Amino acid sequence: MKFVDEATIEIAAGDGGNGCASFRHEKYKEFGGPDGGDGGRGGHVWAFVDPNMNTLIDYRYTRHFEGKRGQHGMGSDMYGAKGEDVELRLPVGTEIYDAETDELLFELLVPGEKVLIAKGGDGGFGNLHYKSSTNRSPRQKTMGHPGEKKSLRLELKVLADVGLLGMPNAGKSTLIAAASNARPKIADYPFTTLYPNLGVVRVAPEKSFVIADVPGLIEGASEGAGLGHQFLRHLQRTRLLLHVVDAAPFDESVDPVAQAKAIVNELKKYDQTLYEKTRWLVLNKLDMVPEDERAARVKDIVKRLKYKGPVFEISALTRWGVETLMLNVYEAVAKVQRSEQPVDEADIDPRFDEREDPRFAPK
């Protein structure tokens, strides 16, 4: 299914039915009295948060949604039936904006939640409504009220605990495939990832977290270059970012440090809050570096980046170091979930277990 994370729609709740002015007509009942019922309410427009949906593709081509009009009131004390409601099924993480004012109206974060986004018009009053001891034959009635009409912009931000960040071909897709149940497209050319991928990382039977991979960023992404800028919003709800860096680029003229700095600059230009989010450095493809040169390569990259946080050395392709990385990530995410406090980096152990892959164990 094609991934669509933006859509603009027009919604209109149903108008209320008109009230009825009527009098009882029965044989031998000369003064039967008023019996005109009220009009029915117009149909509402609801948003239902469907956990089984992950895209807004349904709203890319169908853009107009209208609730049914309420039935008019009738004689014999009969009220009009309410109009049929309309239910829009939206994925978890959808934000609903007013397309004209750009005001955020609703944020759908709870699976199964149902939110009223356009209210149907109330029905008009029939003459039965105006009957009193001093007004025994009222002829008043009122028209139904119009339903709400809105132009809305839908924007989807995926819900993930951890986000992967990096240049194209840094190995993000390989990492999410190695660590989770996601199966993204993997190839030896840039921009193989064209839309966000979500995966569930399970470190124990009842211990898991959600990780998101977005298309790779390039310099100038915040101004519209490449694809990644379109999907940076999907990292805004994450609790932790993993900055994946290709420590052994195929082209020797490519500097991993310059690429890493360019990514950080793009984050800062795009959103200051995203830039200040906890970010760990993950040096990937170290299986391509000779064993006796790895320590020096890692030290050089960290020193030139002036990076002070945790550094993880991995090979996503061979899964070396991936298990230790994910265990640390889970502990950090679980701690944030419990307290919603910043991650204490003193609890992080970036050292990997040599038993994970005997091919990389020290000799």
> What CA–CA distance (Å, rounded) separates 303 from 362?
24
**pTM score, whole prediction:** 0.64
Distances (CA, A) of 17 to 36, 68, 72, 74, 139: 13, 10, 4, 10, 17
First-residue to last-residue Cα distance in the chain: 48
| Rg of the chain taking only CA atoms, in angstroms | 30
283 vs 238, which has greater pLDDT?
Answer: 283
Counting Cβ atoms within 10 Å, is residue 126 exposed (0-12), middle (13-18) or buried (19+)? buried
Show Cβ contacts of residue 79 under 8 Å, excluding neighbours closer than 6 positions. 37, 38, 39, 40, 73, 123, 126
Q: Which of 129-143, 188-202, 332-346 has the highest mean pLDDT?
A: 129-143
Distances (CA, A) of 8 to 98, 117, 234: 10, 14, 18
**Which residues is 90 bridged to in the sheet?**
49
pLDDT tens digits along 73-120: 998 889 999 999 999 999 888 889 999 998 999 988 888 999 999 999
Q: Which residue type occupies 310?
A: P
pLDDT band at 16 (very low <50, low <70, confident <90, very high): very high
What is the arithmetic mean of pLDDT over 152-157? Answer: 87
> What CA–CA distance (Å, rounded) separates 14 from 151?
15
226 alpha-carbon distance from chain centroid: 21
- pLDDT value at position 97? 93
pLDDT band at 1 (very low <50, low <70, confident <90, very high): very low
340 vs 174, which has greater pLDDT?
Answer: 174
pLDDT tens digits along 30-42: 777 888 999 999 9
pLDDT exceeds cutoff 80 at 5: no
Is the Cβ–Cβ distance between 197 and 184 less than 8 Å? yes
> What CA–CA distance (Å, rounded) separates 88 from 86?
7
Counting Cβ atoms within 10 Å, is residue 164 exposed (0-12), middle (13-18) or buried (19+)? buried
Backbone angles phi and psi of 56, in degrees to 5: -105, 25
Cα-based angle 204, 208, 212 (whole degrees, multiple of 5): 140
- pLDDT value at position 341? 52
* Residues 170, 330, 345, 325, Cα dihedral to 10°: -40
Report the topology of domain 162-360: Rossmann fold (3.40.50)
Residue 82, classed as helix, strand or coil, is coil
Per the listing, tokens 């265990």 go with 327
- Nearest by Cα to 65 from 17, 108, 14, 121: 14
Backbone angles phi and psi of 132, in degrees to 5: -155, 175
Alpha helices in 38-126 (DSSP H): 58-61
> What CA–CA distance (Å, rounded) separates 210 from 158?
10
Cα-based angle 262, 237, 9 (whole degrees, multiple of 5): 105
Specify the DSSP class assigned to residue 274: H
> What CA–CA distance (Å, rounded) separates 361 from 138?
94
Is the Cβ–Cβ distance between 213 and 173 less than 8 Å? yes
Where in the chain are the domains? 6-156, 162-360
Show Cβ contacts of residue 197 under 8 Å, excluding neighbours closer than 6 positions. 173, 176, 182, 184, 212, 213
Is the Cβ–Cβ distance between 123 and 41 less than 8 Å? yes
CATH for the stretch 6-156 = 2.70.210.12
